[in-house]
Amino acid sequence: MRKALVGVVLSLLAAFVAAPPSGAYAGETVVLLHGLGRSHWSMRPLESRLEEAGYEVANLGYPSTRLEPDALVAYVEAAVAQCCAAAPRVHFVTHSLGGILVRGYLAKQRPNNLGRVVMLAPPNRGSELVDELGGWPLFSWILGPTAAQLGTSADSFPNRLPPADFDLGVIAGTESVNPLGSALLPDGNDGTVSVASTRVEGMRDFIELAASHTFIMWSDAAAVQVLAFLRNGRFDTVSQ
């Protein structure tokens, strides 16, 4: 009986040590930035997971289809200054275009409280899909002026930005719900961005997940990896 009781106590202690206590990351803020043509609602599942883990969350919306790249970067800069200037530490978790805007923001200004950055399916080297479709008038009419500047040419918006010199982890998707997009992209893509194009010089870690560009921010596996990188500065490849 005594041995059984000791075993239960030890098990409870082990569980307590293994899992961060509620509020372990209190004061640390995670800024969420959605992708092109989406809204902050698309990041709500991640918002909930991060809050459950003890983080403060600022789930920011921005007019992704209405402004030029520089204006979008300025919009994000102002929003971050308003929400998070006083936070002890500020992390960023982004989807698609949101990651490119963070690169643009950090190239202009580096907050003293900067933490880690995780990008989901970012077109860090541009998207080959934009190369194929970006010249169509309907493309810019629907997706706005920044979308047409997300191609793979040397003068595209992402390729004008410097390498990452901050603590960055990139998650690429390898599944597609967009047959047309996949047909126009090289093998190894998420329906919108090729796996190769998500990579950027200076990133600290990189991982591929079986998720599509459209829904990667709703993926449980992606949420697990986001939390792993924010906590440890690396992805959890052991549990895959």
d(CA 201, CA 212): 23
Convert the pLDDT of each residue in 83-141 to its tens digit.
998 999 999 999 999 999 999 999 998 999 999 999 999 999 999 999 998 888 888 89
Q: Strand locations in 125-212, DSSP E?
A: 168-173, 205-209
Q: Which fold has domain 24-232?
A: Rossmann fold (3.40.50)
Sequence spans of domains, the chain? 24-232
Q: Which are the contacts of 153, defined by CB distance < 8 A and separation ≥ 6?
A: 126, 131, 159
d(CA 35, CA 123): 11
pTM: 0.88
Q: How far is CA 168 from CA 82, 94, 147, 156, 203, in A?
A: 23, 11, 23, 21, 5
d(CA 174, CA 181): 13
Q: Which are the contacts of 91, defined by CB distance < 8 A and separation ≥ 6?
A: 28, 29, 30, 31, 55, 115, 116, 117, 118, 230
What does the buried/exposed string (b/e) look like for 201-223 if buried means 16 or more CB atoms within 10 Å of the residue's CB?
A: eebbbebebebbbbbbbbbebbb
pLDDT of amino acid 174: 97
Convert the pLDDT of each residue in 11-49 to its tens digit.
433 333 334 444 556 679 999 999 999 999 999 999 999
H or E, element range at 6: helix 2-18
pLDDT of amino acid 240: 63
**DSSP conformational letter for 88:** S
d(CA 212, CA 127): 15
